[in-house]
Every structure is written in C-alpha cells, then in structure tokens.
Amino acid sequence: MLKLSSKSGHFSKNMDKNQSKDRIEKLKKWLQEWNQKYFTGSGETDVSEGARDQLKRELEELEAKFPEFITPDSPTQRVGAPLSGKLPKITHKTRKMSLNDVFSTTELEEWGERVRKFIPLEKPEFFCELKIDGLNVAVWYENGELMKAITRGDGLIGEDITHAIRTIDSIPLQLSEPATLEISGEVFMPRVAFKKLNAEISQKNIMRKKSSKREFSEFANPRNAAAGSVRQLNPAIAARRDLAMFFYTLGENNLQNPPCTQVEVLMRFEKLGLPTSPYHHLVNEISEIEKIFDNWGKQRDLLAFDIDGIVVKINSLAQQKKMGFTSKSPRGMIAFKFPAEQVSTVIENIEIQVGRTGVLTPVAILQPVVVAGSTVSRATLHNFEEMEKKDVRIGDTVVIQKAGDIIPEIVSVIRDLRLKNSVKIFPPKNCPICDSKIFKTSEVALRCMNLNCGAIHREMIEHFVSKAALEIDGLGQKVVDVLIENNLIEDVADLFLIDKEELLQLPFFQEKKAGNLIDSLQKAKKVHLEKLLFGLGIRFVGEVSASDIAKEFQNSSGETLSDFIEFAKNKEAEEWLEIEGIGEKVAESLQNWFSVKKNLQLLEKLEKVGIEIIFEEKSPQKLSGKTFVITGSLENHSRQGIKDTIKKFGGKVSSSISAKTSFLIAGAGGGSKLKKAKELNVKIVSEKDFERMIL
C-alpha cells in the first residue's frame, strides 16, 4: 500500500514550475486509471480510497498554484458551477426507444420464434447482460471530449444533465482517441453509496428535530436516489453521491472500422476508456438464456447494485437492423424481467374514478405497504369484470405486486382471511360524479358519455397541463378544482385568459405563486405540435402517434394552428391511415374528433389566446412532396432507418402502392408490391438510387 503523510501536498511544496507540470500530468493519469479500475470493477486497485483522496487534494493544490496547467479532463474539474434554474431541454440525435418486457420463459420463447421469422436463414447469437435498475442517459463526445449528457426524457427530447454526469469519476472527460460519437447507458447508485446517503439524511433529520426544522425524506431505493442526484442543479451534490455508469449502446459515430456486434461494441468502449458492465454472456440457444436468467435471479443480492432482470440482444448489429423496430421498441432485443416483488395488505376502500375519456375504473385504497422499494397505498382493479373475476371486496386481505416493477396491481385475494363484514362493490348504473347514465361500450369498460361531466372536465384539463403535454407548472389537481369552482375556466383555452389579479382572489394564491403560474402559462403558449396534440386527450392518440402526425404536418409545409385545423378537419380515416405509424383505431378516433364542431372551435380559441406551434429545425427538404413505399429485404439500411431518413428529408412513407406513390424502394424479394408498382408505372429504385437522392 502507498503511504502518504497526513498533510496533503507535501510532495509538491518545493517543486518548480516544470516539475509541477510533470507532477500534475502524472497525478491526472494515475487518478483516471484508479477511478477506471475502482468504479468499473475492471481491475484490482492496490491503493486505498483514502490515499486516493489525498493524491486528489495534492492535484487540487498544484492546479491552484499553477492554474495555467488546468485542463478540462482533469479529475478536479468534474464539478462545475451550479445551474440557476430548470434543466434545459435537448433534442436527441436519434430517438431513444424502450425495450419490450417479457416476464416468463414462454414469452421469451415467443420472442425467439419472432427472431427466427425475421431472419430465417441466419442463426443468431444472443448477447445477455444485466438489466441495471438505474437511469438511462445519452452522452455525446466530440473529438474525444465529453460535450453533453441527456436523460432519455420522452425519447425525442431529454434534460441536459451534463453538469452532473461530469462528476461521475468512472466517466472519462476525454476519450483515448479523438472520436465523435453518441452513446448511452445506465447511471446508477451502488448499494453502499445508497446506504451511506440515507444514513446521512437520517443523521441530518436527527439534528433538525432538535431545531424544529422540516425533515428531509430518505430515498426509497437506489434508482430514485440516482435519478434525483443527476437532476440536482448543483453538481456538487451529485459529486458527493458516488454515482456510477455503464455504457452499452453505440449510436451515431465516426469510428474507423466500427464494431459489427454487441460484444465488439463493449470491447471498443473499453478501448476508448468508457466503463462497461463486466457481467455479460454470449449464447446460441433460448434455453441457455433461461439458465442465465435463473442464475442471476438467485445471485442478484450479491451484486454491488440493483438489477431487475437481464437484457437479451441479438449479437450481430446487422441482424438487429434487419429486425427493425416497432413504433416504440427495437425487435432485436428484449428485457427479461424478474418476477415482481409481492406483498400482502388490506383493502380499506374501493373508489370509482372517472377518467378523461369517461371510463370508470375501480381503485383499491390500501393500507400503505412497501413493494419493490416504494410505498404503495392504491392499486388499480382495471375494470368491474376484473374485480368480479377476482372477487375483490372492501376489507379483503390481498396480494399485490408491481407489474413490471412499476404499476401496483392486485394479484389475488386471500379468501381464508376474508372478514365477515367484507363489502362487495357492484358496477354503478349512473356516473358517481354527474349521475348520468353509464354505458358499456364494445370494450370491457363502463363509460360516462356526458362530456360535461365534472370529472371528465377536470381530468382533461389536468392531462392538458401535464408534463407529457404542455407542462404547465403550478396547475395541480387542487388548483384546477379551484379554477373550475370559481368559474374561471370552462375549457383549456380559458387557462390562458386568467390574469394575476384573479388568481390573488383565490385561496392559497400569494403574489409569488400567482406570478409563477402566469409566467408558466405565457411560456406554454409556444408549444410543439405533438405536445399539443397529446394534451388534447384524443382517444388512442399517444405521444408516438402525436409525434408522427406532427411530422406529417410539418412535411406538408404547414406552420400555424390555423394551417393544422385545415390539415386535419376534413380528413377521412383512410387518409389518417396513410401517415406512418397510425393504425385503424387511432385513424377512426382522429376522424371522429376533428369532425366535431366544438373541438375545432377549441383549437380556434387556443390560437386566439396566443397558442403558437413550433417545430424542430428541419433538414433540407429534398424529398418534399414525394411518397415512398418500401418492399423486400434491404442490404444497407434497416426498414425503420430508411423510413426515418425519408421523413427527415420531407418525404412521406406509405404502406401500400397507389397511383399517388412517387417511388418504390425495392430490395430482394419485392413480391406483390413490386408487381403492382410495375402495373401503375410507379418508379422503382434501389437503395443506392435512394442514397443518391439525398446527397
């Protein structure tokens, strides 16, 4: 073990400038290597953490004495200046997608069958790695220097957390070569660091009790602690919390001889100095994946960090591309999740909620219980048929779990513990809010059809101002209720007509709070179209569908909300279906919504109160006005990739050939689409022809 005196910097006191420069370089290199070994587990460290801290202090003193030798990649430069406000938003270079989950060997085997159907002539290898329970973050390096770190966000836009990610010792500020690349991975808090953090919070609370100050809440689990840490405006807080990160995905890059497999991706990352997980396996059969899953299920508590399953990927990146994507997920990889933690509790009541689409949902109010690291006091019963099937009653002792470790649900009732006075809840005949008659649609759900129902009205407004929509701070449920009760709003457009003096007349509104809300409303007037569309609460229109519609509208050269009204109001369902990503249910719902005069009037009113739609900067519209259909097996592009490129350059993608089709991009085995294109004299082009179009 290396031993140092108790005084830091003793070695450097008598050095001249040149000696100090040399010492600084050696200290930087040593500390970077020590951090790499320690935080990634990639090698043994023969120096204690305490000794490391002393060497870091020596480096700090030398740099303070000779600031001209400070460089951005120095271990001392990982903490920047605190931010003064909210985290800025950044658009990802490529859309970030989520993995589909499977929870049983049957579901895993079904995924394996789908893989074989997509690549029937090729035998895939499967790459298995631990699914770390952390926070997905994308990182950009330019010419080898760390430039940006962004949360996953909604997949299109994330939060800038560069200031916090720079504090993670295992992440190099400068790569070993001047590469420009976009990568992503998982930020997590090791269990030791998590326990240490909560112990510090507990100690602070003991001291605060003595002074009657408000206590701080301890974190429920390491993931929450990690997510909260990287979102701190002051990077010094993140720096104190010993976060770590493993990288696993390579995006846009300028690497020479880029990797062809997932195994090669990790090898390249390690060569660049990027931390990766040492726990991964390469297998040939689904049955081998099941053994790996079972093994880690038994050993997960021995790890230094939390995991909630394993991730299985096709090892070949070319085969991954051939598999393509759904609207949300890559087909060439899957998350095989561990069974959710199950606990028992008692149902204290069953409430009936009315959602923004009028659906009535029974919700169990539970005696609070901790499940998978967080406290749960409510669980959905989904619908009345499900409640009847499980025979759930007030007073019952039930088993609950978090489906996919996220949504609390009731698994079963322990009938042997049922109370004699348990209460069975029957489906209502009238809405519990407005007393209107309840209808059962073609679905399982019961629905209140009264659009003036107070619950629907409130839920729609809350949805409109939510984070996924217009993200208006200060408009929680209580505030919305007060605004409605005082007749200040009838619809979402009325929100933008409220003035500060009206707010000051309401309960719990002081000068600052009222001013902040008005500021938030003014800021929200400039909104991305996809956010506005999602906020309108059109049935079946989710964030992905809204984004697809917004891109189609932008490609049509529309600019204003008035333009969008004209774009949408007379569209038939068949026309909506021509938009890539829009299915039949969504198309019918869009046609119905935009055919209602009241809805169009709402859009017009929104424009009158100052709503202005904005767009991301567009790429050169070389394919504007052109419609493409794709058929056959492509060699150089994934199907999703070529679709994204077409849209990026202003073109449209259709799933079927018609006289309006401009080009058919044909790969091997074109089939019926190729035949029909010839019949309609549609121009047929190869991948290389297409590439020349966008040069």
- Catalytic site residues? 131
Residue 214 CB partners (closer than 8 Å, separation 6+) = 208
Contact 12, 57 (CB under 8 A): no
Query: What order of strands is seen across the sheet that includes strand 627-631?
Result: 652-653, 627-631, 663-666, 683-685
Query: Is residue 341 helix, strand or coil?
Result: coil
User: Which residues sit opposite 437 in a β-bridge?
Assistant: 430
Residue 73 and residue 497: Cα distance in Å, rounded? 50
Q: From the CB of residue 309, how many other CB atoms can be counted at a distance below 10 Å?
A: 25
Tokens at 438, concatenated: 């309840």
- Residue 18's identity, in one-letter code, is N
CA distance 307 to 300: 7
Residue 229 and residue 219 in contact, taking contact as beta carbons nearer than 8 Å: no
Q: Report the distance separating Cα 93 and Cα 53, nearest Å.
A: 37
CA distance 198 to 29: 33
Q: Which residues, 6 or more positions from 314, have their beta carbon under 8 angstroms from its beta carbon?
A: 115, 124, 125, 126, 127, 262, 320, 323, 332, 333
CA atoms of 337 and 255, how far apart (whole Å):
33
Closest CA to 547 of 232, 236, 24, 153: 153
Residue 322 neighbours by CB under 8 Å, 6+ apart: 118, 119, 332, 633, 638
CA–CA separation, 168 and 446 (whole Å): 50
HSE-CB for 423 with a 13 A CA cutoff: 10
Phi (first) and psi of residue 373, to 5 degrees: 95, -5
Paired strand residues for 430: 437
CA-based torsion, 147, 151, 152, 156: positive or negative? negative
User: Reduced to 3 states, what is the DSSP secondary structure of residue 141?
Assistant: strand
Single-letter residue type at 11:
F
Query: What DSSP line would sit under 401-413, residue for residue?
Result: EEETTTEEEEEEE
CA angle 321, 325, 327 (to 5 degrees): 160
